[in-house]
Amino acid sequence: MATVAVSTQDRLASERKFYTRMALFLVLIVLLGFGPSFYLRGVVPPYPRPNPTLPPSVIFHGLVFTAWMGIFIAQTQLISARKHKLHMRLGIAWVAFAVLMIGVMYMTAVWGVARGSNPPFTTSLEWTIVPLAVIPSFAFLIEEGWRRRREAQWHKRLMLGASILVVFGPGFSRIPLAPPTFAGFFIQLFAGMLLLFTPLFIWDRKTTGRVHPATWTAFCACAVAATIPMVLMGTHSWAPIAAMLPGVGS
């Protein structure tokens, strides 16, 4: 019995370390992606892509996004410290931030038309689909993560997936690794998604012998969020729809 108890403790300790490291890894990607245009704007050279001025709405978006990542790290640390009750209380605030983020994501996307924040291979109207396509998948993962909050293995993976979703597109795709072309952007977008999910795939196989259904759920939600813009931008069918969205060009 003692051996079983020790084994369980070791497994839980390894799990806590994994999620903590994943949280820090995502923060690193955020800093690399948004450092030149937000966190270290004017301190480090900007990336070779549009870096328009930062109006209050974009600053607010950045602060809300930063708070979301901060709560994500705090949640992993609370679990590591075995403060489960505080973790659950803070989880309510995290979900509230998620609801706020959905509204902020929409407004930032449509207001970006006037700012001209799109890369050179597309128009500002077509570019709105990239952040807007994230919203349904993000809302789905948050809702499922909250609904399964008492199923630890589902909850952890779904909430990690939601965090990966808001990082691999906005964050990783900003790092100038591929040429500023339509193909280059989407190759890097999908590469970023695979890069961030690969540790979770490996962790699942190592600890359970298979990829957990929650991991597949999160991965598919992210894949949908990346595929929709690729199709709509590739067929140039989104701009007429975007032009009718409330707030466009404000």
The pLDDT of residue 250: 64
Enter the tokens of residue 233: 């931008």
Enter the tokens of residue 249: 């060009």
The pLDDT of residue 6: 42
The domain spans of the chain are 13-242
pLDDT tens digit sequence for 83-122: 778 877 777 877 888 888 899 899 989 988 888 878 889 9
The pLDDT of residue 185: 93
The pLDDT of residue 42: 81
pLDDT tens digit sequence for 6-30: 466 777 788 888 998 999 999 999 9
Tell whether pTM > 0.85.
yes
Q: How far apart are CA 198 and CA 2, in angstroms?
A: 34
pLDDT tens digit sequence for 60-89: 888 888 888 888 888 888 777 777 788 777
The pLDDT of residue 72: 83
Contact predicate 145/164, CB 8 Å: no
Q: Which among 242, 19, 50, 40 has a CA at the least distance from the CA of 152? A: 19
Question: In whole numbers, what is the pLDDT of the chain averaged over residues?
Answer: 87
Say yes or no to pLDDT of 5 above 70. no
Q: Where are the alpha helices (DSSP H) in the chain?
A: 2-34, 56-80, 84-115, 124-127, 129-132, 134-147, 152-168, 182-208, 213-234, 239-242
Instruction: Name the band, by pLDDT with cuts 50, 70 and 90, for residue 37.
Output: confident
Percent of the chain with pLDDT over 70: 94
Q: How many residues does the chain have?
A: 250
Enter the tokens of residue 173: 């795709």
Q: Which among 27, 28, 11 has a CA at the least distance from the CA of 153? A: 11
Say yes or no to pLDDT of 197 above 70. yes
Instruction: Name the band, by pLDDT with cuts 50, 70 and 90, for residue 4.
Output: very low
Instruction: Name the band, by pLDDT with cuts 50, 70 and 90, for residue 249.
Output: low
Contact predicate 145/158, CB 8 Å: yes
Instruction: Name the band, by pLDDT with cuts 50, 70 and 90, for residue 215.
Output: very high
Say yes or no to pLDDT of 3 above 60. no
Please give the average per-residue pLDDT across 127-152, as a whole number. 94
